[in-house]
Structure 1
Amino acid sequence: MTNDNDQSNYPVWAMETVEIKKPDPIWIDRGIFECNELYRLLFPFGVIQVEHIGSTSIPNLPAKPIIDLMACIPSLNEIDEIITKLASKDWHYVPPELDKLSWRRFFIKVKNDKRIGHLHLMLKGEERWDKQLLFRDRLRMNPSLIIEYTNLKRKLAQEFINDREAYTEAKTEFVNRVTR
């Protein structure tokens, strides 16, 4: 019997610490590049929209240097073909039983054993789609929210340096307040 919590066989990038970096203007350009590449790769599967979300999509916001993206898809019927297509571009599929979020299919782009991208593949109509865009856009328009979020992220990154899931969960209250 195997232990689902045994992390000794996990890839290096799956065990990365939470590290917040100074804002880098190149993140926006990388986001545009990745959106365009994903659109080209996923258009045959019905994807018509790919968005750069998350902290790297917000100018002047410190972040983990990982480009977060989301794509809207009409169906998951061809997920095996999508996994194969994205694997050719260094996207690693995280199955739902590991991801534990049934509303998305999750991929991580890796370079030199480090995460450089996350893709949240969502079905058309998923409520989190609009919430992600609202959060991004409200922060882009409000410098005081950027300052508040920066302080929270730095504090939580120290507190949860070895627990990415706890770090993300601890930001939920802030995200919910901004999107209300």
Structure 2
Amino acid sequence: MHAFQYDKIQKIGRHLSFRDYLRQNPEICKKYGELISKLADQYPTDIDGYGDGKDEFVRKIEEEALKWHWTIH
């Protein structure tokens, strides 16, 4: 779950595009799930390590998701 400040529309849009892209791409969604499970095991009490571990993957997929979003809308 995410909570956003009401005036952060762009950030909300990025998250929704990411979510929708994962829903449309089950293989990428599976890889993401595997990554976050591995990171949760590796960093059970280190939220920064967990976040840093998924950062590169999320940025790459977010970029793809935004391109995808604008091609369908």
Report which of the two has the higher share of helix. 2
Which residues of structure 1 form unaligned runs of 5+?
1-67, 70-119
Contact 1:122 1:129 in 2 (8 A): no
The partner residue of 2:12 within 108, 114, 129 is 129
- Give 4+ residue runs of structure 1 displaced > 6 Å after superposition: none
Secondary structure in 2 matching 1:124: coil
CA RMSD of aligned residues (A): 1.6
Contact 2:4 2:12 in 1 (8 A): no
Q: Which amino acid aligns with 2:22?
A: L
C-alpha displacement of 1:168: 2.1
- Which position in structure 2 is the counterpart of 1:143? 26
**Distance (Å, rounded) in 2 between the aligned partners of 1:169 and 1:179:** 15
- Which position in structure 2 is the counterpart of 1:163? 46
Q: Which has the higher contact order (CA 8 A, sep 6+)?
A: 2
- Which position in structure 2 is the counterpart of 1:173? 56
**If the length of structure 2 is used for normalisation, what is the TM-score?**
0.71
**Distance (Å, rounded) in 2 between the aligned partners of 1:167 and 1:125:** 24
**Distance (Å, rounded) in 2 between the aligned partners of 1:132 and 1:169:** 17
Report which of the two has the higher share of strand. 1
After superposition, what is the alpha-carbon deviation per residue over 1:133-156, rounded to whole angstroms, capped at 9, x for unaligned?
A: 011000011110111112211221
**Distance (Å, rounded) in 1 between the aligned partners of 2:8 and 2:44:** 34
Larger radius of gyration: 1
Aligned pairs for 1:74-93 within 5 A: none
**Distance (Å, rounded) in 1 between the aligned partners of 2:62 and 2:15:** 9
Decide whether aligned partners of structure 1 residues 125 and 162 sit closer, same or farther in structure 2, where only a CA change above 3 A counts.
Answer: closer
Q: Which amino acid aligns with 1:168?
A: G
| Percent of paired sites with the same residue | 30
Decide whether aligned partners of structure 1 residues 162 and 125 sit closer, same or farther in structure 2, where only a CA change above 3 A counts.
Answer: closer
